[in-house]
């Protein structure tokens, strides 16, 4: 039989339209520029046919048809605007409005509501309904970001299906039947999702609204400014809706091959820190042991004088830490000021790396576009907690899984997305290198050593399955995360990954937040003879540096060993910090300069794909604070440089000359893995004590998130996750206070009993500034064993407090 | 020729008859500001934000007046009612409400757009000040001191 032609031609409202076979009538009409109203259909999800708003008449078909579900066929004759179709649309709207409260004046959707717009365009303009309307108690609060109004819901099921199809978290469900149907979370519990903000944007009415934006503004009050989210490193495109110099809300800005129309909740609700009351506005200088407010001139003169002094004493006595939160232009100036004028090679943005760790030996980023993930048939996560670290990438992985891809995870604890994972390789801490090496060997034909794998804690059968699939897979991808790179086996992981790359896998290095990739591109990396960030900290502790210059980072909480940072601070005569708030680093610094945020700057940033994107200043920022680039230019002038930059464009033009291929919209994809990394086949020694594993969480309480009430609520109190068996033997109950000690250092945290952490390990989420986990960690000891005991609530100063056991 | 002259004289006399008729009527001018002019019932003067009989504010902070105002004279910031702080009926109220009287052209569109009948244009036309700032009427200035003070029947629903 002959293949059917690839296209079909149909007639819609008398117009001939040719579309690809399989296209629905609604899409065919859209292509022809004919508007058919819809509510339930959203082109990111398959059609459902729930709302009946999209009726059309098709010749030779008995009844009106829903165009969103009807596949176009050759020769179809469709009418979308005949009186019977218009009548059906009008009556359907009248039915929808029967149960609708029509409280547009107090509804946050008012002004941008599809139900309003369509009633205006297709409705009759009057109602014949005089009976009592459905009456539900409202509003219902579903956690700290979502507000539900059940009366307004038109039961289009978009929000429910978003949780099922797009995010895979089943956050919202429909309850009851018929007239009484309502959308809710089970038992009206606070919603548990990392993507719930998207249901607010796709809800075609005001049934789901945002708590942070509640009654803040009307669409006509807002100026939408294009920007790029600076949280996780994927650089999702956003609109900052600004009312009176205040960011009222953050909305996804559609970019099909990046975040598409989605955002994670950190990006959507984690912005209130921009306007926190304790933003710094005056420079601070330490005098007689106290940080006191001063003028910009005094602070800058002081810093410039000390930099010049150090330059006199010899090159290389100044260290620069940070840059991931700055724009490319700021980073370019940073590099110029310190390499060209101050003459030091010690620059590094990788604050949170361990000395000699694998992170320092490889370029960070994705080796291919994010949009290619759904085309892969095998995804392997190595020490990468994708939903916590790079949430929007998970939506792409979910698409791949829906297309039939297999997902594997090599991790020391189960992941949140475990039900989508084909093979879980939960290994003993520190064994990821051995496991990946065995897999790499097996892919190249060697038989894996079942005994070693078992000792590493993983099931050899799962490994065998993974290896067989890796050999057959189309475009397999390996995502190597911070946990693996910073662990004791980081270089072994890279070694194995390189061999997998030779066998056809694409290797992604999932590392870096904000504009880390841009900082690296602009050269905020050690120059010839320069030290890496951890080396700088070690050298500073020996008194090798006169000045430590810290910007866009908080080493006191980010550096993996708090004692190392404390020693560096103590032995460095001048520590200068640019920051938004008085962070832990700032409190101990000698000069603190108030800086501006990404929402207050023009410039460009790069995401993990190396995609160069432009951001625009949306608000002015607090009076008195200055952009990092402006501060650096002031310093340069005081140090005798005669530069003149008339704006970010001119800096960008200079950066383009220095970094070929740096164009807005272009990709500066990092090169494939290429290195000579030592492999270590030995398994770490087993320990009878509990092993401490730490990890990044999406919702934490860092300097920014703690100042965003919605996110701080979502994060919940700091806790230590313990397996119930380990808890029982120590007399710990869920929610009780527990003391975690390593040698002389101790921390008090709330115990969270969960099987999400295997026995023999405890997990502490990082990113809580009030809980200095890094005081328990040490660079000398990549695997830390801890002792855990229940303590009397009365005896402790409260969770997060430090104790000396 | 003579006919035409007669016509002109007649016309002049007819015109002067108005003058003489009005000459003996009481004057229509007033000695403002000692004496105030009475305005018509539908005169559009300074705005009031009215209340229901129970004292709750009618305004729900919907900003429909803001978007309809042709001279962009109104600023509204809404907020949420709580049981402890119930300002208006329902969920939403205007936490801040300002009208720039220098910009307002007294068209009355805001009154027409208002879904609750909260904003009304009253009869006060004595709107002058010594500074620009004093011409921005704030919410306490605009809100009627007791139900009905602005001229709208507080028992009327809308
Ligand atoms: S959902 Fe739309 S139509 Fe319904 S009250 Fe809100 S704005 Fe009005
Ligand atoms: S809450 Fe909104 S998105 Fe969900 S079913 Fe109702 S109308 Fe649709
Ligand atoms: S009367 Fe007209 S110009 Fe004045 S505030 Fe109302 S809408 Fe604006
Ligand atoms: S005065 Fe009327 S239109 Fe203006 S905000 Fe208040 S309720 Fe809305
Ligand atoms: S859009 Fe077609 S049935 Fe809802």
Cα torsion angle, B114, B120, B126, B131, sign: negative
Same domain, A435 and A477: yes
Same domain, A376 and A506: yes
Nearest ligand, CA of residue A65? 5
- Nearest residue (by CA) to ligand 3, atom 2, is B107
Rounded to 10°, the helix A328-335/A628-638 angle is 20
Could you tell me which residues come within 8 angstroms of residue A569 by beta carbon, excluding any fewer than 6 positions away?
Answer: A540, A548, A556, A575, A588
Distance (angstroms) between ligand 2 centre and the Cα of A57 equals 27
Chain B residues closer than 8 Å to A213 by CB: none
Distance (angstroms) between ligand 3 centre and the Cα of B105 equals 6
**Which token pair is A65?**
């048809």
Three-state SS annotation for A35-54: CCCCCCCCCCCCCCCCCCCC
CATH number at residue A46: 3.10.20.740
Cis amide prior to B33 (ω within 30 degrees): yes
Task: Measure the CA–CA gap between A110 and A684, rounded to whole angstroms.
Answer: 60
Indicate if ligand 5 lies below 6 Å from the C-beta of A39.
Answer: yes
Domain range enclosing A782: 690-803
Q: Is residue A92 part of a domain?
A: no
**A contact residues 105-164, partner B, Cβ 8 Å cutoff:** 105-106, 110-111, 138-139
Chain B residues closer than 8 Å to A139 by CB: 91
Distance (angstroms) between ligand 3 centre and the Cα of B76 equals 13
Indicate if ligand 3 lies below 6 Å from the C-beta of B109.
Answer: yes
Give the number of other CB atoms < 10 A from CB of residue A360: 20
In chain A, which stretches have pLDDT less than 70? 1, 793-805
Choose from B66, B80, B88 for mutation: most chain A CBs within 10 A: B80
| Nearest residue to A722 via CA among A702, A752, A766 | A752
DSSP-H helix ranges across A578-660? 584-587, 628-638, 648-658
Same domain, A385 and A506: yes
pTM for this model (two decimals): 0.92
Report the chain A residue with the minimal C-alpha distance to residue B65. A105
- Nearest residue (by CA) to ligand 3, atom 7, is B69
Instruction: Give, in order, the Cα–Cα distances in Å from A64 to each of A50, A56, A86, A88.
Output: 14, 6, 11, 8
Judged by CB atoms closer than 8 Å, whether chains meet at B79 and A139 is answered as no
Give the number of other CB atoms < 10 A from CB of residue A49: 14
Choose from B70, B91, B113 for mutation: most chain A CBs within 10 A: B91
DSSP for A215-237?
A: TT--GGGPEEEEEE--SSSS--E
10-residue mean pLDDT profile of chain B (158 residues): values are 84 93 87 88 94 96 97 97 94 97 96 96 93 96 95 89
| Nearest residue to A687 via CA among A409, A430, A450 | A430
Same domain, A501 and A565: no
Same domain, A694 and A592: no
Same domain, A331 and A403: no
Give the number of other CB atoms < 10 A from CB of residue A35: 12
CATH number at residue A644: 3.40.50.740
DSSP-H helix ranges across A403-478? 432-443, 450-455, 460-472
Chain B residues closer than 8 Å to A221 by CB: 63, 66
Please give the pLDDT value at position A804.
42
Among A616, A637, A658, identify where a domain stops. Answer: A658
Mutation test residue for ligand 1: of A96, A107, A156, the one with most atoms within 8 Å of CB:
A107
Q: Is residue A303 part of a domain?
A: yes
CATH number at residue A749: 2.40.40.20
- Domain boundary assignment for chain B: 47-142
The residue whose two tokens read 């993996």 is A560
Nearest-CB residue to A106 (from B66, B67, B92): B92
Same domain, A397 and A497: yes
Same domain, A483 and A460: yes
Is the separation of the CB atoms in A680 and A432 below 8 Å?
A: no
Same domain, A495 and A443: yes
Same domain, A373 and A478: yes
Instruction: Give, in order, the Cα–Cα distances in Å from A212 to each of A283, A667, B92, B116.
Output: 31, 34, 15, 26
Please give the pLDDT value at position A771.
86
Task: Measure the CA–CA gap between B21 and B41, rounded to whole angstroms.
Answer: 29
Give how far A141 is from chain B: nearest CA, Å.
13
| Nearest residue to A276 via CA among A704, A599, A594 | A704
Is the separation of the CB atoms in A551 and A632 below 8 Å?
A: no
CA A544 remoteness from chain centre: 37
Distance (angstroms) between ligand 2 centre and the Cα of A150 equals 9
Choose from B92, B113, B114 for mutation: most chain A CBs within 10 A: B92
Burial of A207 (0-12, 13-18, 19+ CB in 10 A): buried
Q: Is residue A270 part of a domain?
A: no
Is the separation of the CB atoms in A328 and A522 below 8 Å?
A: yes
Nearest-CB residue to A218 (from B63, B115, B116): B63
Is the separation of the CB atoms in A365 and A359 below 8 Å?
A: no
Task: Measure the CA–CA gap between B2 and A51, rounded to whole angstroms.
Answer: 87
Chain B residues closer than 8 Å to A218 by CB: 63, 66-67
Give the number of other CB atoms < 10 A from CB of residue A715: 22
Judged by CB atoms closer than 8 Å, whether chains meet at B79 and A215 is answered as yes
| Number of inter-chain CB pairs under 8 A, A vs B | 34
CATH of domain B47-142: 3.30.70.3270
Ligand 4: nearest atom to the Cα of B74: 4
Task: Measure the CA–CA gap between A610 and A234, rounded to whole angstroms.
Answer: 9
Q: Is residue A131 part of a domain?
A: no
Same domain, A580 and A642: yes
Task: Measure the CA–CA gap between A21 and A99, rounded to whole angstroms.
Answer: 39
Query: End-to-end alpha-carbon separation of chain B, Å?
Result: 68
Same domain, A317 and A290: yes
Strand duo B47-49 + B119-121: pairing: antiparallel
Ligand 5: nearest atom to the Cα of A156: 4
Indicate if ligand 1 lies below 6 Å from the C-beta of A115.
Answer: yes
Is the separation of the CB atoms in A733 and A727 below 8 Å?
A: yes
- List, for residues A543-573, the tens digit of each pLDDT value: 999 999 999 889 999 999 999 999 999 999 9
Judged by CB atoms closer than 8 Å, whether chains meet at B92 and A139 is answered as no
Phi-psi map region of A404: left, alpha, beta (phi>0 left; psi -120 to 50 alpha):
left
Number of domains into which chain A is organized: 4
Q: Is the ipTM beyond the 0.90 threshold? A: no
Chain A residues closer than 8 Å to B66 by CB: 218, 220-221
**Which token pair is A179?**
């007239």
- Nearest residue (by CA) to ligand 1, atom 8, is A104
Judged by CB atoms closer than 8 Å, whether chains meet at A105 and B78 is answered as no
Instruction: Give, in order, the Cα–Cα distances in Å from A100 to each of A106, A150, A252, A561, A776.
Output: 14, 9, 27, 57, 56
Mutation test residue for ligand 2: of A101, A159, A185, the one with most atoms within 8 Å of CB:
A159
Q: Is residue A480 part of a domain?
A: yes
Q: Angle at CA A417, nearest 5°, toward A413 and A423?
A: 70
Q: Is residue A703 part of a domain?
A: yes
């Amino acid at each position: 039989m002959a293949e059917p032609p690839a296209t079909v031609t149909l007639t819609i409202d008398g117009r001939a339209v040719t579309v690809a076979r399989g296209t629905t009538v609604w899409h065919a009409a859209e292509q022809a520029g004919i508007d058919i109203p819809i509510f339930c259909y959203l082109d990111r999800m398959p059609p459902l046919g729930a709302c009946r708003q999209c009726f059309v008449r098709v010749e030779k078909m008995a009844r009106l048809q829903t165009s969103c579900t009807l596949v176009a066929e050759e020769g179809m004759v469709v009418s979308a605007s005949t009186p019977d179709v218009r009548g059906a649309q009008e009556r359907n709207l009248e039915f929808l409005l029967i149960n609708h409260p029509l409280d547009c004046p107090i509804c946050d959707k008012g002004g941008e509501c599809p139900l309003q717009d369509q009633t205006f365009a297709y409705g009759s303009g009057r109602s014949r309904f005089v009976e009592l309307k459905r009456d539900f108690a409202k509003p219902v609060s579903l956690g700290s970001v979502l507000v539900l109004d059940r009366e307004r819901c038109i039961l289009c099921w978009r929000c429910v299906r978003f949780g099922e199809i797009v995010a895979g978290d089943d956050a919202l469900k429909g309850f009851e039947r018929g007239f009484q149907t309502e959308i809710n979370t089970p038992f009206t519990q606070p919603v548990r999702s990392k993507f719930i903000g998207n249901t607010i944007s796709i809800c075609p009415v005001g049934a789901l609204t945002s708590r942070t934006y509640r009654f803040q503004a009307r669409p006509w009050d807002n100026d939408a400014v294009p920007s790029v989210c600076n949280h996780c490193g994927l650089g999702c495109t956003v609109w900052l809706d600004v009312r009176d110099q205040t960011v009222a809300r953050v909305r996804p800005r559609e970019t099909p091959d990046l975040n598409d129309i989605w955002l994670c909740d950190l990006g959507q609700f984690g912005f209130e820190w921009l306007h926190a009351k304790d933003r710094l506005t005056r420079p601070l200088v330490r005098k007689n042991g106290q940080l006191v407010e001063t003028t910009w001139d005094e602070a800058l003169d002081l810093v410039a004088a000390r930099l010049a002094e150090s330059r006199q004493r010899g090159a290389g006595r100044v260290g620069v830490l940070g840059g991931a939160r700055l724009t490319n232009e700021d980073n370019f100036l940073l590099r110029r000021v310190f390499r060209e004028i101050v003459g030091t090679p010690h620059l590094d943005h990788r604050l949170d790396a361990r000395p000699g760790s694998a992170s320092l030996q490889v370029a960070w980023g994705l080796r291919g576009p994010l949009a290619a993930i759904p085309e892969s048939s095998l995804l392997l996560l190595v020490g990468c907690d994708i939903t916590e670290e790079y949430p929007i990438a998970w939506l792409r992985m979910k698409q791949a899984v829906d297309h039939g891809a297999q997902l594997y995870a090599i991790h020391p604890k189960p992941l949140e997305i475990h039900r989508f994972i084909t093979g879980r390789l939960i290994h003993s801490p520190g064994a990821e290198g051995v496991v990946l090496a065995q897999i790499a060997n097996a892919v190249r034909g060697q038989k894996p050593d079942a005994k070693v794998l078992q000792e590493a804690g993983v099931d050899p059968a799962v490994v065998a399955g993974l290896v067989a699939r890796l050999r057959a897979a189309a475009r397999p991808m390996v995502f190597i995360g911070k946990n693996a790179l910073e662990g004791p086996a980081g270089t072994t992981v890279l070694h194995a990954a390189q061999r997998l790359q030779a066998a056809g896998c694409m290797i992604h290095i999932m590392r870096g937040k904000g504009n880390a990739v841009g900082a690296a591109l602009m050269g905020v990396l050690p120059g010839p003879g320069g030290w890496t960030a951890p080396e700088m900290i070690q050298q500073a502790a020996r008194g090798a540096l006169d000045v430590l210059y810290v910007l866009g980072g908080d080493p006191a909480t980010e550096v993996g060993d708090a004692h190392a940072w404390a020693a560096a601070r103590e032995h460095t005569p001048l520590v200068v910090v640019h920051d938004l708030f008085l962070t832990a680093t700032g409190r101990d610094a000698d000069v603190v300069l108030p800086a501006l945020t990404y929402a207050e700057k023009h410039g460009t940033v790069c995401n993990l794909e190396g995609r160069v994107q432009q951001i625009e200043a949306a608000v002015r920022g607090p009076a008195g604070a200055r952009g990092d680039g402006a501060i650096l230019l002031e310093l340069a002038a005081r140090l005798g440089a005669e530069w003149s930059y008339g704006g970010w464009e001119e800096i960008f033009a200079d950066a383009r000359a220095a970094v070929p291929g740096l164009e807005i919209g272009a990709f500066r994809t990092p090169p494939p893995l290429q290195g000579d990394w030592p492999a270590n086949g030995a398994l770490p020694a087993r320990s009878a004590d509990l092993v401490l594993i730490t990890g990044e969480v999406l919702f934490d309480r860092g300097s920014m998130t703690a100042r965003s009430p919605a996110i701080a609520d979502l994060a919940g109190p700091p806790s230590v996750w313990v397996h119930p068996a380990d808890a029982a033997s120590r007399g710990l109950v869920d929610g009780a206070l527990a003391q975690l000690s390593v040698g002389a250092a101790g921390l008090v945290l709330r115990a969270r009993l969960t099987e999400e952490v295997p026995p023999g390990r405890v997990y502490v989420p990082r990113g809580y500034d009030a809980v200095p986990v890094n005081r328990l960690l040490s660079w000398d000891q990549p695997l830390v064993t801890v002792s855990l005991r229940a303590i009397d609530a009365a005896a402790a100063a409260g969770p997060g407090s430090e104790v000396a056991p | 020729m003579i006919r035409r002259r007669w016509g002109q004289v007649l016309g002049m006399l007819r015109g002067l008859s108005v003058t003489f008729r009005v000459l003996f009527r009481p004057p229509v001018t007033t000695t403002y500001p000692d004496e105030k002019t009475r305005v018509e019932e539908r005169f559009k003067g300074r705005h009031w934000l009215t209340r229901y009989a129970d004292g709750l504010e009618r305004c729900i902070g919907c900003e429909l007046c803001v978007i309809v105002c042709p001279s962009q004279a109104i600023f509204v910031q809404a907020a949420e009612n709580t049981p402890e702080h119930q300002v208006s009926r329902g969920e939403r109220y205007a936490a801040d409400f300002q009208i720039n009287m220098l910009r307002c052209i007294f068209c009355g569109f805001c009154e027409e757009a208002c879904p609750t009948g909260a904003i009304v244009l009253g009869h006060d036309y004595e709107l002058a000040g010594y500074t620009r700032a004093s011409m921005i009427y704030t919410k306490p200035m605009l809100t009627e001191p007791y139900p009905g003070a602005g001229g709208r029947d507080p028992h009327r629903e809308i």
